[in-house]
Amino acid sequence: MTDTTTNNRTEIRPAGPDASAGFSLKSFFRSPAAGAFMGFVAVFVLFSIFGYSRNFLSVPGMTTWMNFASIIGMIAIPVGFLMIAGELDISTGAVVPASTMTVAIVSQHYEMPVMVGIAAALAIGALIGFVNGFIVTRTRVPSFIVTLATLFAVAGLTLYLSIFFINNTNSFYNAPDWAKSLFGGKVWGFNSSVFWWLGMIAGFIFFLHYSPKGSWVFALGGDQESARNAGIPVNGLKIWLFVLCSTSAAFAGVLQVITFSSATSQANFGLIFNTIISVVVGGVLLTGGFGTVMGIVFGVLTLSIVTQAIGFTNIDRNLSFLIIGVMLLIAVLMNDTFRQLATSWSTAKKK
Amino acid sequence: MSDAKPVLELRNVDKSFGPIEVLNDISLKVGAGEVLCLLGDNGAGKSTLIKLMSGVHQPTRGDILMDGAPITFASPRDAQERGIATVHQFGGTYPLMSVGRNFFMGSEPTKGFGPFKVFDRKRANSIAVAEVQKMGITRITDGDRLVGGLSGGERQSLAIARAVYFGARVLILDEPTAALGVKQAAHVLRIVNQAKRRGLAVIFITHQVMHAMAVGDHFAVLIRGAVASDFRKGEKTREQIADLMAGGESMVELEANIDGYMETHGGHPPPPAH
Ligand SMILES: Nc1ncnc2c1ncn2[C@@H]1O[C@H](COP(=O)(O)OP(=O)(O)OP(=O)(O)O)[C@@H](O)[C@H]1O
Ligand SMILES: [Mg+2]
């Protein structure tokens, strides 16, 4: 007893100035984004060295991986939200082709205005998300299995309906000029999707880290029972997050079909891996409750550099998968270290 | 005590989970400025009972009345909005979130306007730290600190501080002193008395006779899901209460058994008798 009282007296200290500052180096290093940022810097420096003679640092070099990152990134961030909330969504690999085919069928084949095609694609995305969220919240089936089922169901339905409507599993779409420049244009080699992604990052950061409801997402993954007891609408929030994820994937599909003028109904399994790798490399805890938008952004950028820009370096192309594998392992191992650093941070400061 | 309508009342409430009957014909009431101590053995149904009052579960049969009028708590949020704050036996904090965010979970303070309302981190942190310090946890000075780095008792104190801060009418504490040190437990008892003086109705669950006697005005003992005894302060002695809390067995005998056994068995407690 006497021990604790003396401790108390010596340890009463006002919170340091960094405790109230919006951003500080200290708070950055105990955030889950720190590891992702350092991984990004390491890969960027490595590629700059090995790619100096092959124009890795040139504008075409940069646009190659940035354009790729923007599409992966606008899906990876809401996938990351779900992982923070303790859920997983792998149906995105079917939502993107469903969305591209919807735009092509509605706006090319049936000659409806482009906005109708886009609205239809987004609505289909939202509906798939709602179905995912509804099943996950009403049953006790893990979201991995639920979204695995919807992945195949939606992929199959997309193929079937494509044949049904246009008798072809692939299609094309030439958007009017204004839509082309808004959704599928290029500025200095950067696709429109890059700018859309930047805007979405700002929105996502605001939602998760600044808006009052951001905490709820973390609480869901931290302790769902307590979150419900604290009055958080657990089911509603979860459904909403699934809708956000699928709608974002559908929007990525819209940007793709308008940018490349072509649509395919083949499920994109690579996309599933890419989004989940980005989220994990970005420092989001696999079991939920911990993560940042900026971490995911760095995860996406790192993955994009390694897979897309390896051709601009002297590194053998075939090594890119090896690098990704090693990075993923390091990230998962580091996650634990960073989490411990974060929880013990304040006590360590006082010693 | 007073003839005013009880703040919260249960009338002939049953609760079962599928075929498992947990609570049977419970009638209880608690008035403003009164502390109701819920006592009982492990598994007696105390936590289940308070979950009915905090909107986590709905009764299978029977009525809940608030201020004399029948009421249904559709969700925990519903009960909270009516001024009922609860500290559940387990959980209540999120290890990987800050003290400030934990404290205001579900009722975040905001600044700004319209769609640009942001979580007011500074205000949340300073209120959370101040309220936790009132519970005797003076080691918490930084509201940005993650709760995972706190001790079990510190976390429990945080959960209690939160309920005390948000509870407007009813404060429900499920074994709040279980993880606490002697000093912090004393703080909690003091806070319970303060809440009572502010006119809150308090429901307090504990396994410690001393804590119950220190704050209780009114005692209800649950044995296997039914109210076995319901009495006011001063109507029973410490020993009688202890016996009731042990599920009706005589504590003196139980304790004598342990002592005798330990003497003859080299200081080992006896194995559980079943
Ligand atoms: N959701 C549930 N489903 C089925 N049975 C339950 C459920 N919740 C509680 N029970 C059962 O109800 C009984 C009473 O549980 P409760 O948690 O209310 O006991 P308690 O009095 O709080 O015990 P303790 O002192 O150990 O906290 C237990 O036998 C438990 O198994
Ligand atoms: Mg209990």
High-pLDDT (> 70) share of chain A, %: 89
Rounded to an integer, the average pLDDT of B99-113 is 91
B9, part of any domain: yes
Q: Which ligand 1 atom is nearest residue B51's CA? A: 18
Given a cut of 90, whether residue A4 has pLDDT beyond it is: no
pLDDT at A281: 93
- Residue where a domain terminates, one of B166, B182, B199: B166
Of the residues B116, B144, B166, the one at which a domain ends = B166
In this structure, the answer to whether residues B3 and B71 fall within a common structural domain is yes
Asked, for residue B242, whether it belongs to a domain, the answer is no
* Most distant pair of Cα atoms in chain B: their distance: 74
Question: Is B111 at the interface with chain A, CB within 8 A?
Answer: no
Q: For the domain that residue B215 is a member of, what is the CATH number?
A: 3.40.50.300
- The CA distance from B189 to B204, in Å, is 10
Q: Is B212 helix (H, G, I), strand (E, B) or coil?
A: helix
Q: How many domains does chain B have?
A: 2
Whether B79 and B172 share a structural domain: yes
Question: Is residue B154 situated within a structural domain?
Answer: yes
Q: Is residue B25 part of a domain?
A: yes
Class of domain A34-337: mainly alpha
Cross-chain CB nearest to A346 (options B81, B97, B142): B142
Give distance in angstroms: CA of B47 to centre of ligand 1.
Answer: 7
- Segment B35-51 mean pLDDT: 93
Q: Does residue B259 have a pLDDT over 80?
A: no
- CA B242 to centroid of chain Cα atoms: 19
Chain centroid to CA B83: how far?
15
Same domain, B188 and B217: yes
Q: Are residues B68 and B173 in the same domain?
A: yes
Is the per-residue pLDDT at B51 higher than 60? yes
> Helix or strand or coil: residue B13?
strand
**Is the pLDDT score of A68 beyond 80?**
yes
Lowest mean pLDDT among A50-54, A201-205, B32-36, B62-66: A50-54
Kindly provide the residue ranges of all beta strands, DSSP E only, lying in A143-231, ordered along the sequence. Answer: 170-172, 186-187, 190-191
Distance from CA of A124 to the nearest CA of B (A): 26
pLDDT of B266 higher than 80: no
pTM value is 0.88
Note the pLDDT of residue A73.
97
- Of B144, B166, B188, the position where a domain reaches its end is B166
Residue B24's pLDDT is what? 92
In a domain, residue B107? The reply is: yes
In a domain, B162, yes or no: yes
Q: Are residues B70 and B102 in the same domain?
A: no
Verify whether ligand 1 is closer than 6 Å to residue B43 (CB atom): yes
The DSSP 8-state label assigned to residue A110 in this structure reads S
Q: Are residues B174 and B75 in the same domain?
A: yes
B179 Cα: distance to centroid of ligand 1 (angstroms): 19
The DSSP bridge partners found for residue B21 are B16
Shared domain check, B179 and B79: yes
The two three-digit tokens of residue A127, written as one number: 């509906």
Q: Does the C-beta of B24 come closer than 6 Å to ligand 1?
A: no
**What value does the mean pLDDT of chain B take?**
87
Clarify whether residues B26 and B139 are in a common domain.
no
* Domain containing residue B142: 97-166
Question: A26 — contact with chain B (CB < 8 Å)?
Answer: no
CB of B40 shorter than 6 A to ligand 1: yes
Please give the distance, rounded to the nearest whole angstrom, from the Cα atom of residue B91 to the centre of ligand 2: 12
